[in-house]
Each structure stands twice: as C-alpha cells, then as structure tokens.
C-alpha cells in the first residue's frame, strides 16, 4: 500500500532552534517513496530561481500517532545565500537569525542571545540547505515522490551515514515551496506550512541585523574543532 504524506500544519520552535544549534534536524524517513526518479525538479528550480523568500509560517511537532505536542507560528525571511530570519510568536518570543557569518538565537524573555559560528552551527541541516547557494542534488540523493493532493513532493537523502538527518521532504505547489516535513531522533514529526509566500522581493539588509539593548547578554559559543 502506498504511503501518502501526512497533513502538514505547524512546527515546534524549541525543537527547531535546538536542531539549529545542535546541527540536528531530521531522523527516520516520514514517507515511503512512491517513485524513484532521478530528477530533483522542482527543488532545482527553487535554487536556481529563488533569491529571496518571505512567508508566514505555522509549525507543529507531533508524535508518531499524530498527537500534537506543541505549536507556534511566525514569519520567515530568507536571502540566499546564507541569510535567514525566523521570528516566532506575537508578541515576539524568539528570533533565529543567520547573517552570513553567525547564527543568532535571541530570546527577549530571557534577555539573552546565543551566538554561534554559522557554518558550524548549521552544517548539514535543512536550514543550512535552504539557505545554501547550490542545489542539493550536488551533495545529496534526491528523489521525486510525485504529486499527491496537488503537492509535488521531493525527498532529499544525505550521502553520508553520519549526516544530521536521514530524509527531508519538500512540498511544492505550482513551483512554490509550501511545506517541509521531517522526523527527529525521538520519532517526533516536525512540520511546517508556508502561507502568504513572496518570492524575489527586496529584503532590506537590516532584516538580518539585531538591535539589542545594553541589558541583553550575548553568549558566544566557540566553534567546535
């Protein structure tokens, strides 16, 4: 029996931020492959055509039985290569931002910023993959899962056994990235749905800067050797 993608709704901000900081996003495959095609389109199209990406997102983390554990929402700005900003919550609860050199995790409630080397922190993660400047087909195994429910699904598999993830699935609707789905090491399903998507709009450089008051503690973590 062919497995179908489970509905994507929301994605947990804490799991996402921990995954960014630890270099872990993913786990066991969420879907069985319905087709084994060498093509990476429309994923290649995303990397060749999309320079900036702005969207509202809803996120969730669920158990294997699809029981909701936590949920959040926010706004994403992406400028390839190397820069993104995830704003979580209203009022603002957390910011995860990459400026091309550093990864910033800002928690206004704790009056604290954790600062990490971007390349080291992101590494082989979906966030690093989306912000990269080359198509995943050059470094990963890419398989088309076909069209299901009006969504064209593409799976990405790492070539290295010790990679941070085992499979990530991207869902496209008329060549627009709408969904991402993965599984973490605890078998929890992490999901994200994009809405109000804008592609190749002008994003001011200030969007990838943080204005911090003197009361904010900055904790810089050394890059691992």
- Predicted confidence at residue 36, as pLDDT, reads 41
- Whether residue 104 contacts residue 113, with contact meaning beta carbons closer than 8 Å, is answered with yes
Is 13-202+216-220 CATH 1.10.274.100?
A: no
Query: pTM for the full model?
Result: 0.79
- Nearest-angstrom CA–CA distance, 123 and 24: 9
| Closest to 55 (Cα-Cα) out of 30, 24, 87 | 87
Q: Which residues of the chain have pLDDT under 70?
A: 1-40, 124, 161-164, 184-186, 223-225
Dist. CA 5–CA 170, nearest whole Å: 11
How do beta strands 83-88 and 94-99 pair? antiparallel
Q: Which helix (H) or strand (E) holds 121?
A: helix 118-122
pLDDT one-digit tens code per residue, 187-207: 777 889 999 999 999 999 999
Q: What is the pLDDT of residue 84?
A: 96
Check residue 209 and give its pLDDT. 95
Question: Exposed, middle or buried: residue 58 (CB in 10 Å: 0-12, 13-18, 19+)?
Answer: middle
What pLDDT score does 162 carry?
67
DSSP annotation of 150 reads T
What is the per-residue pLDDT across 169-188, written as a single tens digit (0 to 9) for each?
A: 899 998 899 999 887 666 77
Reduce the DSSP state of residue 49 to 3 states and report it. helix
Judge if the upstream peptide bond of residue 91 is cis by omega within 30 degrees of 0.
Answer: yes
Give one word for 175, left, alpha or beta, with left for phi > 0 and alpha for psi -120 to 50.
Answer: left
109-126 residue pLDDT tens: 999 999 999 988 887 677
Q: What is the pLDDT of residue 7?
A: 34
- What local confidence, expressed as pLDDT, does residue 164 receive? 63
Token pair for 174: 């008329």
């Amino acid at each position: 029996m062919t497995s179908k993608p489970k509905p994507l709704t929301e994605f947990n901000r804490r799991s996402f931020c921990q995954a960014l900081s630890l270099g872990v996003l993913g786990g066991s495959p969420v879907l069985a492959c319905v087709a084994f095609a060498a093509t990476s389109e429309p994923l290649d199209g995303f990397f060749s055509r999309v320079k900036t990406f702005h969207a509202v997102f809803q996120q969730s983390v669920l158990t294997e039985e699809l029981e909701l554990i936590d949920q959040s929402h926010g706004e994403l700005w992406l400028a390839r290569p190397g820069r993104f900003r995830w704003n979580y919550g209203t009022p603002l609860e957390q910011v995860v931002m990459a400026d091309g050199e550093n990864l910033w995790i800002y928690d206004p409630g704790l009056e604290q910023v954790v600062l990490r080397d971007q390349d080291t922190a992101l590494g082989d993660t979906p966030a690093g993959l989306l912000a990269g400047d080359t198509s995943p087909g050059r470094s990963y195994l890419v398989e088309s899962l076909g069209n299901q429910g009006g969504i064209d699904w593409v799976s990405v598999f790492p070539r290295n056994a010790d990679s941070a993830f085992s499979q990530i699935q991207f869902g496209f609707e008329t060549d627009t990235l709408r969904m991402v789905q993965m599984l973490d090491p605890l078998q929890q399903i992490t999901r994200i749905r994009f809405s109000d998507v804008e592609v190749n709009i002008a994003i001011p450089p200030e969007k990838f800067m943080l204005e911090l008051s003197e009361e904010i503690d900055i904790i810089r973590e050394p890059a691992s050797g």
